[in-house]
Structure 1
């Protein structure tokens, strides 16, 4: 781990959050922004059809295979591997891959004070959030509120306590906000006329169930496109065999590889 990575690792371990500036290149950001609109329309149609559209404005889930740019972004996040391995003290997998389009006066559940994992441990960490800023995050357009050092606070703070003490995660587009998933946080209100967009990914220890079967969604037929990072993060090293024939294989062919603890 180099000195910069070590600084971010220390910030995660203490304050519980850190921002890596301008990590993602502009051309990819432009492509991701263009893809978000159709992705949101698809999800809103499904939610409308299934009667679950309320309180979900601008929220997107499980974007991975909507467009090649989402896979490309996940591949570029390999730059975070040293920080993630330091955080987890071992391996990890993708748990969720979502996004948020925060528009003026929009209302959704992500604006409530919340945390993304409801339990913790004094000896190991189970989940980390990675928020990719597709636009500049400013105080005016809804930069995330986050309560420093709150990873060990079990009781949800009142809104008054939270907003009085919370920091704001501002940054330039292409920056990545990392935070311990136990942190109390909330999406800010956008008071501008332009959308404030982000991708919201979470990573967990490999034995956690991902929120969607990303390995199957990506497809075994595409495994030859995977380097070691993608194979690990998509969960191909932490799969469950379906039969005795899949169980009784040489070690290197096993679905659940060593080191996935």
Structure 2
């Protein structure tokens, strides 16, 4: 782990959050922004059909295979591998891959004070959030509120306490906000006329069930084009065999590889 990675690791372990500036190149960000509109329309149509549209404005879930740009962006996050391995003290997998389009005065559940994992441990960390800033994050357009050192605060703080003591995760487009998923946080209110967009990914210990079967969504037929990072993060090293023939194979061919604890 280099000096800069070590600084971010220390910030995660103490304050509980850190921002890595300008990690993703502009051309890839442009492609993701262009893809978000159709992705949101698809999800809104499904939510409307299934009667679950309420309080979900601008939220998107499980974007991975909507467009090649989402896969490419996940591949670019391999730059975070040393920080993640330090945080988890071992391997990890993708747990969720979502996004948020925060419009002026929009309302969605992510604007409530919340945390993304309801339990923790003094000896082990189970989940980390990675928020990719697709636009500049400013105080005016809804930069995330995050309460420093709240990873061990079991009871939800009152809104008055939270907003009085929370920091704002501002940053330039292409930056990444990393935070311990036990942190109390909330999406800020956008008071500008331009959308404030982000991708919201979470990573967990490999034995956690992902929110969607990303390995199957990505497809076993595409496994040949995965490097070691993508194979690990998509969960191909932490699969469950479904037959004795899949169970009794050489070690290197096993679904559940060593080190996935």
| Superposition TM-score, scaled by structure 2 size | 1.00
Q: CA deviation at 1:127?
A: 0.1
Q: CA deviation at 1:226?
A: 0.1
Aligned to 1:46, the other structure's residue is in SS state helix
The whole-number CA distance in structure 2 between the counterparts of 1:160 and 1:8 is 29
The whole-number CA distance in structure 2 between the counterparts of 1:226 and 1:245 is 24
Cα-to-partner distance string for 1:9-40 (whole Å, 9 max, x where unaligned): 00000000000000000000000000000000
Q: CA deviation at 1:103?
A: 0.2
Gaps spanning 5+ residues in structure 2: where?
A: none
Q: CA deviation at 1:135?
A: 0.1
Cα-to-partner distance string for 1:93-136 (whole Å, 9 max, x where unaligned): 00000000000000000000000000000001000000000000
Kindly report which structure 2 residues correspond to 1:58-97, keeping only aligned pairs within 5 A, or say none: 58-97=58-97
Aligned to 1:97, the other structure's residue is in SS state strand
Q: CA deviation at 1:187?
A: 0.1
Q: CA deviation at 1:201?
A: 0.1
Aligned to 2:106, the other structure's residue is in SS state coil
The whole-number CA distance in structure 1 between the counterparts of 2:252 and 2:77 is 26
Structure 2 residue 21 is matched with structure 1 residue 21: yes
Q: CA deviation at 1:220?
A: 0.3
Q: CA deviation at 1:86?
A: 0.1
Q: CA deviation at 1:44?
A: 0.1
The whole-number CA distance in structure 2 between the counterparts of 1:225 and 1:80 is 20
| Superposition TM-score, scaled by structure 1 size | 1.00
Which residue does 1:227 correspond to in 2?
227
Cα-to-partner distance string for 1:42-74 (whole Å, 9 max, x where unaligned): 000000000000000000000000000000000
Q: CA deviation at 1:212?
A: 0.0
Q: CA deviation at 1:157?
A: 0.2
Aligned to 2:157, the other structure's residue is in SS state coil
Q: CA deviation at 1:184?
A: 0.1
The whole-number CA distance in structure 2 between the counterparts of 1:70 and 1:26 is 14
Q: CA deviation at 1:225?
A: 0.8
Aligned to 2:179, the other structure's residue is in SS state strand
Gaps spanning 5+ residues in structure 1: where?
A: none
Which residue does 2:207 correspond to in 1?
207
The whole-number CA distance in structure 1 between the counterparts of 2:208 and 2:155 is 24
Q: CA deviation at 1:223?
A: 0.5
Aligned to 2:39, the other structure's residue is in SS state helix
The whole-number CA distance in structure 2 between the counterparts of 1:249 and 1:224 is 19
Q: CA deviation at 1:162?
A: 0.1
Q: CA deviation at 1:198?
A: 0.1
The whole-number CA distance in structure 2 between the counterparts of 1:158 and 1:102 is 23
